[in-house]
Amino acid sequence: MRDPIDTHASFWPQVIVQESRGERVYDLPSRLLRERIIFITGGIDDAVSASVCMQLLFLEADNPKKEISIYINSPGGVVTAGLAIYDTMQFIRPAISTTVIGQAASMGSLLLAAGDKDMRFSLPNARIMVHQPSGGYQGQVTDILIHAKEVESLKRRLNEIYERHTGRGYKEIEVALERDNFMTAEMAKDFGIIDKIMDKRAVPSDSK
């Protein structure tokens, strides 16, 4: 999997911002980062994970009391890369809202569920998918058994994380993740992965 920053950078428009010292040109992700918005798009690999973790740590250093918003449109990816993002989300001090646009599958759904309580959202037509981790290994029988035990250990850990953030029992999580389990936004809300379905951005109370 390639880092979507490398893959899609040529398609991102640049924006001109009027600042005290004149105009400044930003690429769109950098401009959104100024607003404390992070995008997780495409497959989650080590490069994507490093980028997201660095952005989270930067925003915490910038203001540890101000909310961070993460938008997710991802089919999932490498479990350890996703867990690095998850652990960083839990580690830093700012509250984090998560919103799925398009899809949040596999590790994408876990990161969606990992937002702060009552701050996990889905747009109406987004799809969410949960399942158990998969793995493949070739080699000597002993090595295959070692890797099988590691996948089983990761499966238990992921189940525990979903249990923590959805409020569902461990056995129920285990059954739900046994096979690819696709959900609508409504189903994901009932399951406890998200808190609210948003079709319109809330209008500030001071708006006329």
Nearest partner of 160 among 186, 184, 187, 133, judged by Cα: 133
Secondary structure of residue 27 in the 3-state scheme: strand
69 part of the active site? no
Among residues 51, 106, 109, 122, which one is catalytic?
106
Q: What is the DSSP string of 105-132?
A: ETHHHHHHHTSPTT-EEE-TT-EEEE--
Q: 120 in the Ramachandran plot: left (φ > 0), alpha (ψ -120 to 50) or beta?
A: beta
Residue with tokens 């984090």: 96
**Helical ranges in the chain per DSSP H:** 4-8, 28-34, 46-62, 79-91, 107-113, 141-166, 170-176, 185-191
Nearby residues of 101 by Cβ (< 8 Å), 6 or more positions away: 71, 72, 73, 123, 126
In angstroms, how far is CA 107 from the centroid of its own chain?
Answer: 7
131 part of the active site? yes
- What whole-number distance in Å separates Cα of residue 172 and Cα of residue 85? 25
Active site residues: 106, 131
